[in-house]
């Protein structure tokens, strides 16, 4: 027997819930990766890309990445969306899974880096470092994610990463 049709507003109540986020991945003209150091209590000292959680029902992950980038760095991204990576995280401190998209923000010049204005409520420092230099200051699992996205950017490809139950990609 076929399943009876269910109105969409009832059907969606049966679907698993997840949060989504968008972020921008920038390099400088030497190919070094830009990251921001969080000063938010739960994430203090964690290095991350400009981005954050989608705030409203109709905000796309790209719109989220652009908005968060502007709020966190003052960078107004006007380019087209170029997807570098898709992340699926079903483990961790969140009560629901998270689906994230990383977009290629392109290369920033020294002038553009000098104009970065961090939101002091979210980040206390930014840095550009090579992938190898980032390995020395980041937790292994987050460095693995950075390295995979950097490889995708260099190859002109898109990475798909799932955080496993052991916390690694």
pLDDT at position 1 is 59
DSSP string, 128-162: EE-HHHHHTTS-HHHHHHHHHHHHHHHHT--EEEE
> Tokens standing for 169?
């990609």
Helix (H) and strand (E) counts for the chain? 5, 8
* Contact (CB, 8 A) for 85 and 101: yes
Residues of the chain with pLDDT > 70, as a percent, come to 96
pLDDT tens digits for 24-33? Answer: 999 999 999 9
* Contact (CB, 8 A) for 110 and 128: no
pTM confidence score: 0.90
pLDDT tens digits for 99-114? Answer: 999 999 999 999 999 9
Domain 17-163 homologous superfamily, CATH? Nucleoside Triphosphate Pyrophosphohydrolase (3.90.79.10)
């Amino acid at each position: 027997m076929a399943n009876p049709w269910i109105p969409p507003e009832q059907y969606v109540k049966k679907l698993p819930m997840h949060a989504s986020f968008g972020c921008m991945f920038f390099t400088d003209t030497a190919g070094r990766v830009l990251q921001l150091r969080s000063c938010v209590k739960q994430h203090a000292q964690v290095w991350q890309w400009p981005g954050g959680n989608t705030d409203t029902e109709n905000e796309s992950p790209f719109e989220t990445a652009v908005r968060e980038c502007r709020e966190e760095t003052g960078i107004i991204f006007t380019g087209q969306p170029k997807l570098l990576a898709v992340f699926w995280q079903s483990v961790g401190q969140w009560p629901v899974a998270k689906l994230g998209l990383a977009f290629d923000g392109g290369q920033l010049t020294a002038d553009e880096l000098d104009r970065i204005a961090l939101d002091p409520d979210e980040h206390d420092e930014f840095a550009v470092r090579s992938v190898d230099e980032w390995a020395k200051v980041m937790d292994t699992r987050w460095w693995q994610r950075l390295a995979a996205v950097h490889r995708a950017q260099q190859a002109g490809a898109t990475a798909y990463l799932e955080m496993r139950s052991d916390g690694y990609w």
